[in-house]
Structure 1
């Protein structure tokens, strides 16, 4: 079959890498793609939210499956767009309906869903510009640190964790009245802070059944020791060593099952990935957030560990037969280290030539392009996060060593990466 992947980052390169390994894939297209996907698929310069251009491409190339990478097209309703169109309705779309995508599109909606289905999460209240003073009063009832979350999509950067009450009040004002995160912070969720260690759990559901993919731990902050500004993600480790069988059983019973059952009970059409951001508080899991797609860079560590044919899995999603699947996984640990442009997550330059990629051994590491493009015969930087390097070993220390060794063979101007991944494991 002909398949289209929407997106241009490391997550989408990883999808492409896995899909091209499937005998079920005849032709793979990636829109808009990057310099890495260009080597294994046909890149098409279409924006992920240009639904009419995507429709034309699907009809022209006889595409039977669309795998949606990023959240924007899902929140804007691409699945519904396909379902309602006579010429597109038989195309398998991996991604939830617009209603399902609200789990990521609105922090308030997600919290209400969690409370409705008795899924463990932090206490919260939400506020807008008219109730900013009530928000400040609510902050006074909490103890530090204070968690402020922009309600809408802010590219993974709309969460502030602050130690000082006055600073928290100031930032609340900044978000609500000065629109610090634009329309995303027209509403702000204030949450109690949960103290523990975080992990990500990924579920693929057909709306009735589900399979649980490997766990991962990602590292969001730019600085070593988890300091500095939040980023889209500086690296990931899969599986998470502390997520043993007993803890995973709790996650399944208390969080995964009630989430999938809750979506079904509310008649929310959901065929795709559920990314559950969790925190282990004592010995109990609690939900920090939902995302409605695979995480990035977790995908680069999680999907290479899945030995089951990915296209076959997606076919089961379309047919609602995931209950017949036995997922086969690589038992080894995979680690992903992200190299980023100097200055990221704030201002950075693009167009820097990336050298040495051809010297990295394929038997040692897998290269996933995140923010790259081609300029003439050169691969150049085209984003904040540039190249992800994934390696396997028996434990995360060995795998990280391989990833760091590979990174030393590549270079671009002002390249930066964190050298302390796994410090908290």
Structure 2
């Protein structure tokens, strides 16, 4: 089988490394790739959102599977682009539809999905420039610290956690009126702060059944002792030391199952990875965010722990037979 991985980070190198070990693999391409992927696959000079160029390459090289690393192509609708093209519709694209990708593309959409499907999360409200005054009033109604999230994609950097109410109001104005995060902060979600410990759960789903992948914990705050602004993530560990069987059972029952069932109920076409960012508060899981792909850097610590054939698991998406795959975790 010929496989194309889209992306250029450590995440994509981890995918390439895992997939390269599969007996099902014929040729492996990574677009645009990096120095690491060049050693185990063929790098291709393609932009991840240049769908016509990707189409041409896929058809010329008889690519049967496209593994989408970053969020931008998913939010822009690469899955739908392939499905709607007669020449491409049989290619197995690993990633959700454009509508389902809104779970990452819009914080508000994700929050409303959680509410409808009774997935536990923090209390919130969303605001735009026209409701700036109400946003400032909402800040006054919450206890510090205050969590401000740009609604759109901001490369993992669009979340501010601020202890001072006045500073939070100024930041809200900078986001909504001053365009602090560009178009991503045309709308801002303000949330109650959850005081707990963070972890990430990764789920593989073919739209019908699911498999829970190894857990991970990444480190975002730039300063020593978890201070300062968020980065996109500077390193990760797997497994998460405190994620025991009791907690994992709660996560599956209260978060994973309602999420996957929610996809079906709401007709969201989802064949790919679900990244669930959690805050564990008093041994209870609450969802901070969904991402519609694997995380970078978490993938680098998660995929090496899967000792079964990742390509075989992904190949099962084409026939919606993931439930027949045996996922083995080391």
Distance 1:285 1:325 in 2: 27
Number of matched pairs: 330
Matched, 1:56 2:56: yes
Residue matched to 1:171: 171
Q: How does 1:36-55 map to 2 (within 5 A)?
A: 36-55=36-55
How far has the Cα of 1:318 moved from its partner? Answer: 2.1
How far has the Cα of 1:20 moved from its partner? Answer: 0.5
Could you state the TM-score of these two structures normalised by the residue count of structure 2? 0.99
Residue matched to 2:110: 110
How far has the Cα of 1:223 moved from its partner? Answer: 2.0
Distance 2:191 2:159 in 1: 11
Could you state the TM-score of these two structures normalised by the residue count of structure 1? 0.77
SS at structure 1 position matched to 2:155: coil
How far has the Cα of 1:320 moved from its partner? Answer: 0.9
Q: Is the 8 A contact 1:271 1:318 kept in 2?
A: no
Matched, 1:5 2:5: yes
SS at structure 2 position matched to 1:98: coil
How far has the Cα of 1:325 moved from its partner? Answer: 2.0
Residue matched to 2:94: 94
Q: Is the 8 A contact 2:9 2:34 kept in 1?
A: yes
Distance 2:276 2:3 in 1: 26
| Structure 1: stretches of 5+ with no match in the other structure | 331-425
SS at structure 2 position matched to 1:99: coil
Residue matched to 2:264: 264
Q: Is the 8 A contact 1:144 1:165 kept in 2?
A: yes
| Structure 2: stretches of 5+ with no match in the other structure | none
How far has the Cα of 1:230 moved from its partner? Answer: 1.3
Distance 2:217 2:31 in 1: 28
CA shift digits 1:90-124 (9 cap, x unpaired): 00000000011000000000000000001100000
Say what the alpha-carbon RMSD is for the aligned residues.
0.6
Matched, 1:119 2:119: yes
Matched, 1:244 2:265: no
Q: Is the 8 A contact 2:277 2:289 kept in 1?
A: yes
Q: Is the 8 A contact 2:160 2:229 kept in 1?
A: no
Residue matched to 1:129: 129
Give the structure with higher Rg (CA): 1
Residue matched to 2:255: 255
SS at structure 1 position matched to 2:101: helix
The structure 1 segments of at least 4 consecutive aligned residues displaced by more than 3 Å after TM superposition are none
Distance 1:203 1:228 in 2: 30
Q: Is the 8 A contact 1:199 1:278 kept in 2?
A: yes
Distance 2:176 2:89 in 1: 40
CA shift digits 1:319-341 (9 cap, x unpaired): 111111221111xxxxxxxxxxx
Residue matched to 1:340: none
CA shift digits 1:363-390 (9 cap, x unpaired): xxxxxxxxxxxxxxxxxxxxxxxxxxxx
Select the structure with the greater relative contact order (CA < 8 A; seq sep ≥ 6).
2
Q: How does 1:26-425 map to 2 (within 5 A)?
A: 26-330=26-330
Residue matched to 1:421: none
